[in-house]
A and B are shown apart, each in its own frame.
Chain A
Amino acid sequence: MSQTAFFSKNSEVTPDNLGAAIQQAIEIEISTIPIYLYTYYSINRSPDQDSISGFLVQQLLKHGKSLTEASAIALELSAEIMVYANKAGALIMSVAIEEMLHMALSSNLKQALAGLPQLVGKSPSVWPACLPGHEPVFWINRAKFSLDQLMTFLKIESPDPLPDPKLLKAPIPYKTIGEFYGMIINCIETNDLQYNTHSPQLIPGKGYYAQNNIDTIYYDKHHKPVYTNAADSGDLVCVFDSASAIQAITFIVDQGEGSKGAPGLNKDGTVDCGAVVPPDYDDPEKKELSHFEKFAQIYCTYKTLSDKFNQLGIGDIDISTYFVMDVPTNPSTAQYPNHIKPVSNLLNAVYTYIFVMVENCYLKSGSTQYEIFMFGIHKSMIFILNSLCGDIMKLKYKGSDNVEYFAAPTFEDYPFGLVSSPKSQLTDLFTLAVTAYPTIQYLQQRILDLPDVPLQIEGKF
């Protein structure tokens, strides 16, 4: 990864460095994608209610409940766990999808104001990672779902500077993602900038972006679908003037942090689990919560559910045990044993190829762009990457601590070489992976169906 240098605390966005600032914005958005996806895939969204319920009955009987009482409580609690696991997954996926939207919006911005966006090789390569340029630095892990991980998510999306006693004693100018975008808006508003209106962008109305899909919904206790995103919360924007540029940025900031005045963490760094207030929403009809508030909801429900278990005397087992897989923190392909390494390499190559294809969408317009996006990017995400993530997590290995873990997708940038096309390398990697893990044979045709697009792209306006 070669992430672009961030602005120092006293820097300012000017027409001269606007391109670098927008590129940095793109990389901030990209940084969040592997983090959210890693945690998402650690969640079993459909755990077995019967086994949870049966286990809880045994626990409750040990604490003096009658069988009738224990069965009734266990049914209620297991249903709550079922809803919570599915809801947590839906909300995290809804945020991850919007981060991909934000990457596209920032890329449109760059295409209009500063040339081609650079996306390949921009995922964090060192873990724990940090948000590029965020002050103060806080460390981010690819880790399974937990309260700690949710707190990290809240810091990423915080609308307010993070409370830090050290900072209060020796104040350091602090930037939230929203403040950073504010600097870009200021530059756009105060300068007469030239907009490139002829180069391709990812535009609305082509079906590239859908606010809700089956993965962003969850079912309530009565199995009624609940939608986590709203149709009016944001969409792709074609950037061609200052108004459209500011609209694109406003979507990004509002979806992440909420509307102006949205509260962040409490002053002592804890999460405000009070009632949702209007600025916590990101859409005019107040139906979709901001990323920050979505994570706050998951965090607070985790606490409430844990309290409920504690009051019944069965809280010694963390509730996440019922629906979270035991995956390692910050794994790397290099650390995996030989039966997992080739599968992980293939997965990372697919992950990286998605960015290769997005870059190509900024060079091609019309039907060619449509085909790359719909038949390349969509297919890769839904039928190859998602499938591989599920498949790799069926593999187990012993870590250096001698503990057995499930393997997990590492979301590392795969270093495609220049001697052949990335797709050609992808098919070679598939051959190696399927030899080690024949279960993934069904993916062969899906990989062969992908568009063949180049790694190195040329042309600037």
Chain B
Amino acid sequence: MAKINYTPNASLCGGSGPAPAVPGAAASVKPAIELHVCMGLNACKGHDRTGTNNCAGTGYCATAEQHNCKTLNNCRGQGGCGLYGDAQEQMVPGANDCAWQGSCAVPIQAERFSTLGENKGKSTWLLARKLFEERMAKANRNVGSSPFPCGPPENWLTTVLGSYDSCGNSGDKRCSFGFNNPDVNAKDLCDGKGD
């Protein structure tokens, strides 16, 4: 039989390689913005989805492409975390090393929690914000308040994006059934109260 060889360049990068650029093609004139995964995680003015935020940490939404689960992020720093992935992966929301290495959806809804690691049972968005603030402190930059103090609530995201889903078969992260009070649960998560 003909042996079929493993071909990393033609497969793992997502099919055939791109065609070479046309010589002389005009470069994009649109300045690049930093891609980040959620509300309150922008490093610069004008770097949120609407381009209208005034300073670091105050943006309304992600500039990275929206996706709904692990391994679907386009590149470095564009993956959400929590829900899937090992303990190490779940500790770096918005700070993954490479494409397809983020462990959950973008944007990160306020109700999301980590399922493994030191942050288990606690808010994923708050962890992302902590990492972001540490990065800004290292760069000697002031950070403004996020529009929602614990990240965008799922209901709000649904309103803004039309629909919103993150991965998993275990039911709605906000509320599947009663007896429970989704707002109290959300506040507990926001206050850092884990399981």
Nearest CB on A from B61, distance (A): 23
Residues of chain B contacted by A379 (CB below 8 angstroms)? 71, 100
Nearest CB on A from B59, distance (A): 27
A211–B116 touching, CB < 8 Å: yes
Closest to A371 in B: B12
> Helix, strand, loop or mixed for chain A's interface?
mixed
> Is A294 interfacial (CB 8 A cutoff)?
no
Q: How far is the CA of A211 from the CA of B88 in the complex (A)?
A: 12
B12–A227 touching, CB < 8 Å: no
A46–B3 touching, CB < 8 Å: no
Q: How far is the CA of A448 from the CA of B169 in the complex (A)?
A: 24
Q: How far is the CA of A451 from the CA of B13 in the complex (A)?
A: 8
B167–A451 touching, CB < 8 Å: no
Nearest CB on A from B11, distance (A): 4
Query: Within the complex, which residue of B11, B100, B180 is in contact with A223, where a contact is CB–CB below 8 Å?
Result: B180
B3–A223 touching, CB < 8 Å: no
Q: How far is the CA of A379 from the CA of B185 in the complex (A)?
A: 31
Q: How far is the CA of A211 from the CA of B86 in the complex (A)?
A: 7
Q: How far is the CA of A176 from the CA of B70 in the complex (A)?
A: 37
Nearest CB on B from A283, distance (A): 14
Closest to B3 in A: A454
Residues of chain B contacted by A423 (CB below 8 angstroms)? 11
> Is B120 interfacial (CB 8 A cutoff)?
yes
A214–B71 touching, CB < 8 Å: no
Residues of chain A contacted by B115 (CB below 8 angstroms)? 210, 212-214, 216-217, 225, 227
> Is A340 interfacial (CB 8 A cutoff)?
no
Residues of chain B contacted by A437 (CB below 8 angstroms)? none
**A204-228 residues at the B interface, CB under 8 angstroms:** 207-219, 221-227
Residues of chain B contacted by A207 (CB below 8 angstroms)? 85-86, 88-89
Nearest CB on B from A329, distance (A): 23
Residues of chain B contacted by A451 (CB below 8 angstroms)? 6, 8, 11-12
Query: Within the complex, which residue of A78, A89, A452 is in contact with B11, where a contact is CB–CB below 8 Å?
Result: A452
Q: Which of B47-55, B147-155, B171-179 contacts A (4 or more CB under 8 A)?
A: B171-179
Q: How far is the CA of A360 from the CA of B11 in the complex (A)?
A: 14
> Is A440 interfacial (CB 8 A cutoff)?
no
Query: Within the complex, which residue of B5, B14, B86, B175 is in contact with A210, where a contact is CB–CB below 8 Å?
Result: B86
Chain A 332-372 interface mask (CB, 8 Å, partner B; 1/0) = 00000000000000000000000000001000100010011
Residues of chain A contacted by B170 (CB below 8 angstroms)? 45-46, 86, 89-90, 214-215, 217-219
Nearest CB on B from A454, distance (A): 5
Q: How far is the CA of A449 from the CA of B15 in the complex (A)?
A: 6
A46–B86 touching, CB < 8 Å: no
Known: A213-B116, A364-B6, A386-B169. 14 other contacts (CB 8 A): A46-B172, A207-B89, A212-B115, A213-B84, A214-B83, A219-B170, A223-B185, A225-B113, A225-B195, A368-B8, A421-B4, A451-B12, A452-B10, A456-B3
